Structure formats: C-alpha cells, structure tokens
Amino acid sequence: MECIHCSSLSDNTRDELEFYLVKNRIDKLKTNSNVEVVLTGGEPLLHKNIYEIVEYLSKNTYLTTMFTTGIMSLDGKKHPDWDLLKNNGLEKVVFSLHSSDECINDSLLRREITKRIIDEIKKSKSIDLKVEINCVMFDKTYRNIETTLDFLINELNVDKVRMLRLVGQGRAKGEEKFLAPENNKIIASAPLLLKKYAGKVHFEGFPSICKCRSSLHSSARCDSGTKFFHIDFWGNILPCPSVKQKTMFSYTTIDIIENLFASIKSFNRDKEQLTDIFNCPGQSRGQA
C-alpha cells in the first residue's frame, strides 16, 4: 500500500514476519489482564498467515481488533473471509476510509480501491462484526466531512468514526502542511459534530477536545503509556501508535505486561500543560 497519510515507514526493506515469530511475540504477552490486541500495519490482511494469527490470539483469550483497508490483494483477486476471521476470534474491524467521495479517497490511498473498501465494510457489518472507521482529516476531506459522516453512520451504519489528526511522520512526513486542515477550524466545529452524531464520532489527537481512545470527550489529557500501549511485531513497545519509531523500548527487556505501564508512564503529560500544539514525544514539529 502507498497511502499518502501513512505514519509508518512501511516499505519492502524487511521481510514479512514469519508466523512462528508472531506466535513467539503473542506468547510473551501472556497475562491475566484483559488485553486488546490490535493488528495493524501497513495492511495486516496482506500477511499470508492472517487467519492463523487471529485464531492464535483468540486461543490465548485476547480481544482482537484489526486496522485495515479491507484489501487482501492489490490485484483484487483475493477477498477477506470475514466469516472465517470472526469464527477465528476477530471482534472488531477498523477500516481506513477518509471520504465518501470516491475520487478524493482514491487519490489519498493512491489506488482505485474505495469501492472495494466500502464493499468489505458492508460484508463485515452483515455478519455483525463491530465496525469502526479511521478517518484522517485532510484539507479537502474536511470540507465535506458531514457528507462523509452521514454516509458512514446513516448509510453504512458503522459503530464509530474516529476523526484523526494527520501525523507528520513516516510517509506523511513533510506532507502535513499541504494536506492538513487548520486546527482551529476542526476545534470550532467539533462540538457541533459531536452533538449531531452523538456517541458515534470521536476525535483523536486534539487534547482540548477529548482524550485519545476514550469516550469521555470532556477529559482533555493525553493518557499515553497509562491505559494503552502499542507493541509492533518486531518487539518495539511504544506509548502510542502514533509514536512509531520515534520512541521505543525493547520488548526483550520486559517480562510481564503489568510492568509496561510503569515503564512508559513517563510519557504521560499533565492535562494542564496540553493544548492542541503540544509537544507529544512521538511527533516532530510539536504536533499531536
């Protein structure tokens, strides 16, 4: 995939992680805690063992979520078997769809795949998977955001739409000044959108609006490293998925998951210090 907004440094310089190594990472996570594991990428559906990975997570009693475009092959010849993924233990799918306008969305993903994404959303909804949408806010998508939200919430009946700030790293590094809408416009319109789509829309990356990954829109603070952390399949532990390669701990030095929260708690920021131009440890240019 070559999505213009991708905050990962995805490329072809590393081989796909073999299934036995994936199982090894999962085994190291064993805990009595209630843990949600998010499969992300890149595109997790492109992994040749994705069905087995989901099944192995389920056998280890993890709640499993997948961040995806819904695209299993770039040539369109293969499609994900959502019934099998659900039977193997997948509980929630978070699709990337940034505009209901096909031309705009295709241009951001750099591929003509929007129709296919929408088809996969419909298929996953039809078998009662929990379906959410990650919608990164670009200047040209934000202009018709209500049209997109109406389509996603009222027509596709998705469970939640996350409105995400464009993160200036990975493939998106250097692009944010050309692509991102002005933050003050987003902040000004947020209360109206939250009211209109009550419980269905959530903003992330804007601490004056709401806390990331929480339904408590009135709590303006970053809880990085205290309630949520990200472990990639290479063993890096990150206080937030947006941090990526900027700040990390080696998973090989930490044995039990309860210690992770203490280990990265230093990344938590006092809420009185946070504004929408705050110095998140994972961001260049002081953006969230």
HSE value, Cβ hemisphere, 13 Å, CA-based, for 56: 18
**What is the rounded CA–CA span in Å between residue 90 and residue 84?**
9
Answer yes or no: is 35 within a domain.
yes
For residue 215, being part of any structural domain is answered with yes
Distance CA 276, CA 221 (A): 10
For 70-108, write each residue's pLDDT tens digit. Answer: 988 878 788 999 999 999 999 999 999 999 999 988 888
Do the domain assignments include residue 3?
A: no
Over the chain (288 residues), the average pLDDT of each successive run of 10 is 65 70 79 74 86 90 87 85 96 94 86 91 96 89 91 96 78 67 78 89 73 47 56 61 54 50 50 44 35
Place of tokens 């900027």: 246
3-class SS of residue 65:
strand
**Count: domains in the chain:** 1
Domain boundaries, position 265: 19-286
Residue 13 lies in a domain: no
Tell me the three state secondary structure of residue 136.
Answer: strand
Give the SS3 label for residue 36: strand
Give the Cβ contact number of residue 250 at 10 Å: 10
Query: What pLDDT does residue 286 have?
Result: 31
Distance linking the first and last C-alpha atoms of the chain: 24
Its pTM stands at: 0.80
pLDDT of residue 154: 95
The CATH number given to whatever domain includes residue 166 is 3.20.20.70
How far CA 177 is from CA of 4, 42, 103, 182, in Å, comes to 13, 23, 21, 9
Please report whether residue 10 resides in a domain. no
* Cα-trace Rg, the chain: 18
Task: Provide the pLDDT for residue 74.
Answer: 75
Q: Does a structural domain hold residue 4?
A: no
SS3 164: strand
What local confidence, expressed as pLDDT, does residue 220 receive?
45
Count of beta carbons in the 10 Å neighbourhood of residue 20:
8
Question: Considering the domain boundaries, does residue 7 fall inside one?
Answer: no
Cα separation, 66 vs 58, in Å, equals 13
C-alpha span between 14 and 66 (Å, rounded): 21
Calculate the alpha carbon distances from 139 to 148, 186, 212, 276 in Å.
14, 10, 21, 17
Q: What angle do CA 48, 49, 55 make, to 5 degrees?
A: 155
Output the pLDDT for position 212. 57
Is 59 a member of any domain?
yes
Q: Of 145, 40, 55, whose CA–CA distance to 96 is shortest? A: 40
Give CA–CA dist 227/28, Å, rounded: 19
Q: Which two tokens stand for residue 175?
A: 């692009």
- Show the tokens assigned to 37: 């594991």
Residue 234: count of CB within 10 angstroms of its CB: 13
Q: H helices of the chain, where?
A: 19-28, 50-59, 82-87, 102-109, 114-126, 139-142, 145-149, 176-179, 183-196, 258-263
